[in-house]
Amino acid sequence: MGRRLRRHEPGTYHMVTTRCHQGCFLLRPEPAINEAVLEWLARAQRNYPEVLIHAVAVMSNHLHLVVYDTLGELAGWASYFLGNLARSVNEIRERRRGVVFERRYAAAPVLDDAALLDRLVYVVTNPVRAGLCEASCFWSGVVLWAGTGEPESREVSWIDRDPYRRARHRAKKRGKAPPDPEGFRTSGTLVLHSLAGHRVSEAIEGRERELAAEREFSGRLAMTHEEVLAQAWNDAPRHPEYSPQPACHASERSLREAFLEGFREFVAAFRRASVQWRAGCLDVAFPLWSYPPGRPLIRPAEARAG
């Protein structure tokens, strides 16, 4: 129960991870999938501007992000982004039905600067580590990060589905040819935030050189773009890698131990409140930054008033 509880405190960096149902290649990189990812990232950012995006990597069967949650809105942001992305993926995949992501997203807090840089490099170089390309810039899927020291704005575009569907429905009723979907294209802005004071580009290039040396030593070649796309979207790896999600990311053991101790206290307080709530005491006080049954995030009184 403790590991499944969410505690989204404001002012926290998170590494967010979610995997496709049964490890299938539902996010196999192709133009329609890439466009859907960028669309819902941009629209989620418009609805939740205080969730800052630092890095994104979308693999064929999972995705990683590094984000900064300014106001404790990560749960709402993730629900909006992943929920709408899942619907778009099902529509693209031959109008598939069913779940796209096999479980709720994992969000592990990143506790210090060294761990933050390590996670950002891990996310950006994930396609290289998986042997899908020789460098992250060659990955045909979505890999985003800002390395200039300043926020970077990127224009993205997508087909505005609702007007297009209405126009297509009217054309069908009148016996006319369906309209060109490109006539319903709209655009938005996606802002990527850099890590001030970090040499992100150098760290990424260094890690990619290490991975290239490991690949050369082992004699394994990176997959080509054609080989990646040749994989069926409803297929999955023969030997998928699953590892327990860490409770947090930290470069020092003392930071991790302090976090775990605080989280154990948080879980204990939530359990005590939960026992009282199930006994009928509906006005019981749950700990701050928790999600009681059927209620929104518990914030301090001054935050709620603001």
Residue 2 lies in a domain: no
Please tell me whether residues 92 and 217 are part of one structural domain.
yes
Calculate helix-pair angle for 200-218, 113-124, nearest 10 degrees.
50
Please tell me whether residues 211 and 241 are part of one structural domain.
yes
Following DSSP, what letter does each residue of 163-231 receive, concatenated?
A: HHHHHHHHHHHTTPPPPPGGGGEEEEEEEE---TT--HHHHHHHHHHHHHHHHHHHTPPPPPHHHHHHS
- Report the alpha-carbon distance of residue 176 to residue 169 in Å, rounded: 10
Please tell me whether residues 183 and 152 are part of one structural domain.
yes
What pLDDT is recorded for position 294? 82
Please tell me whether residues 167 and 295 are part of one structural domain.
no
What pLDDT is recorded for position 95? 77
Please tell me whether residues 106 and 138 are part of one structural domain.
yes
Going 162 to 168 to 169 to 171, the CA torsion angle's sign is positive
Residue 1 lies in a domain: no
Domain limits at 145? Answer: 12-251
- Report the alpha-carbon distance of residue 266 to residue 268 in Å, rounded: 5
Please tell me whether residues 22 and 144 are part of one structural domain.
yes
- Report the alpha-carbon distance of residue 261 to residue 247 in Å, rounded: 11
Q: 178-219 pLDDT, tens per residue?
A: 999 999 999 999 999 988 666 888 999 999 999 999 988 988
- Report the alpha-carbon distance of residue 200 to residue 54 in Å, rounded: 11
Residue count (the chain): 306
- Report the alpha-carbon distance of residue 69 to residue 303 in Å, rounded: 15
Q: Which residues contact 87 (CB under 8 A, 6 or more apart)?
A: none
Q: Which of 249, 246, 207, 244 is nearest to 115 (CA)?
A: 249
Low-confidence ranges of the chain (pLDDT < 50): 1-2, 302-306
* Cα angle for residues 129, 132, 134 (degrees, 5° grid): 75
According to DSSP, the residues that pair with 12 across neighbouring strands are: 69
What pLDDT is recorded for position 197? 62
Domain holding 51: CATH number?
3.30.70.1290
Domain end, chosen from 251, 272, 290, is at: 251
- Supply the pTM of this predicted model: 0.91
Domains identified in the chain, total number: 2
What pLDDT is recorded for position 303? 42
Please tell me whether residues 49 and 178 are part of one structural domain.
yes
Please tell me whether residues 158 and 304 are part of one structural domain.
no
Please tell me whether residues 29 and 126 are part of one structural domain.
yes
Q: 43-75 pLDDT, tens per residue?
A: 999 999 999 999 999 999 999 999 999 999 999
Residue 4 lies in a domain: no
Please tell me whether residues 185 and 263 are part of one structural domain.
no
Please tell me whether residues 45 and 21 are part of one structural domain.
yes
Residue 278 lies in a domain: yes
Please tell me whether residues 219 and 107 are part of one structural domain.
yes
What pLDDT is recorded for position 195? 82
